[in-house]
Amino acid sequence: MIRSFLRDDDLTPAEQAEVLALAAKLKAQPYDHKPLAGPRTVAMVFDKPTLRTQASFAAGIAELGGNPMLVDGALAGIGKRESVADVARVLGRQASQVVWRTYAQSDLEEMATMSGVPVINALTDEFHPCQLLADLLTVQEHKGGLAGLTVAFLGDAACNMGNSWALAGVTAGMHVRFGCPEGYAPDAGVLEQASALGAATGGSVAVTTDPAAAVEGVDVVVTDTWVSMGKEDEAAARREVFSPYAVTEDLVAQARPDAVVMHCLPAYRGSEIAAAVIDGPQSVVWDEAENRRHAQKAVMAWLQAHVGQPGKTG
Ligand code: NVA
């Protein structure tokens, strides 16, 4: 069975730990591991804006010995000019893996079903699992481990990053607290799945509308833009509803003194995060941005190694 990485819980807790360990190894020795030698081509398809994802995948694929092939989503017109299934069959004949940033998770799933090669989620409306591997790698580097740590996610938790933190954080055995307005919690089904995962890993999820309660004593403070890609029409209303959840110096002061602050970027200083926080001593956002490359290299190497091997167990 071909393995893909479409959502955070596609990796079991043991597999997630294995991929993170590989990411740390690849970070230490970036040019020694060439599982895409040939070079094998990895197709990168973007239907939404990108900076970090395109840059880190392109650099990472090259470091693995492969050939990054950029497919412009606007030109390809996937789902409009031709069906997802037909595009999948074509890309699967040219590329060893497909990396896709798009809107609907169901389209990504169809790409994985029809392409015959591993498919990697480079962000959908529902999940952003590559970002989460980079985030977990960053926390691991700064805190020495993951299990048992508490993270507060502030602001718009009803987005890809909120859902992914719930699944990936609990998979790693972390306690994930969401501080968000009524109606902006992660997807209810995802929260249930995360809670169920916690029975095995010791992790947990909790949701509160009180931002101070969310950050009280936490090890990690996370936020994301209040206006995700595709939500631009709601920008004014969102600024109003999320303003009490801004990550300010006062709010961060309620976390542990050694807490780290993360943001997947792009960041809007003065909205979801204060300039003094993102540019301050507790911010690890540039490590987080760099770690996209190392984490994604680990995913690609891991998926390539599992082509033709039995499916997920345990
Ligand atoms: N929630 C954000 C993440 C950006 C990396 C968005 O979807 O735009």
> In the predicted model, is pLDDT for residue 12 greater than 90?
yes
pLDDT at 308: 67
The question of whether 294 is a catalytic residue gets the answer: no
Active-site option among 97, 219, 224, 296: 224
Give the least confident one: 1-5, 15-19, 221-225: 1-5
To test ligand 1's pocket by mutation, which of 46, 57, 128, 234 has the most ligand atoms within 8 angstroms of CB?
Answer: 128
The question of whether 287 is a catalytic residue gets the answer: no
**46-75 per-residue burial string, b: 16 or more CB within 10 A, e: under 16:** bbbebebbbebbbbbbebbebbbbebebee
233 C-alpha vs ligand 1 centroid, how far in Å?
15
Beta bridge partners of 177: 152, 206
Distance between CA atoms of residues 114 and 310, nearest Å: 18
Beta bridge partners of 150: 175
39 C-alpha vs ligand 1 centroid, how far in Å?
31
pLDDT in tens, 45-79: 999 999 999 999 999 999 999 999 999 999 999 99
Note whether 219 and 151 are within 8 A (CB). Answer: yes
Cα-based angle 267, 270, 272 (whole degrees, multiple of 5): 55
Mean pLDDT of 161-171: 99
Q: What is the mean pLDDT of the chain?
A: 97
Ligand 1 first shell, C-beta below 6 A = 128, 159-161, 224-225, 228-229, 264
The question of whether 292 is a catalytic residue gets the answer: yes
The question of whether 224 is a catalytic residue gets the answer: yes
Active-site option among 3, 7, 52, 101: 101
Sequence-separated (6 or more) residues with CB below 8 Å from residue 171: 8, 9, 11, 12, 13, 16, 197, 201, 203
> In the predicted model, is pLDDT for residue 312 greater than 90?
no
Minimum-distance ligand 1 atom for the alpha carbon of 131: 5
pTM exceeds 0.85, yes or no: yes
pLDDT at 310: 57
Tell me the chain's radius of gyration from C-alpha atoms.
Answer: 19
> In the predicted model, is pLDDT for residue 314 greater than 50?
no
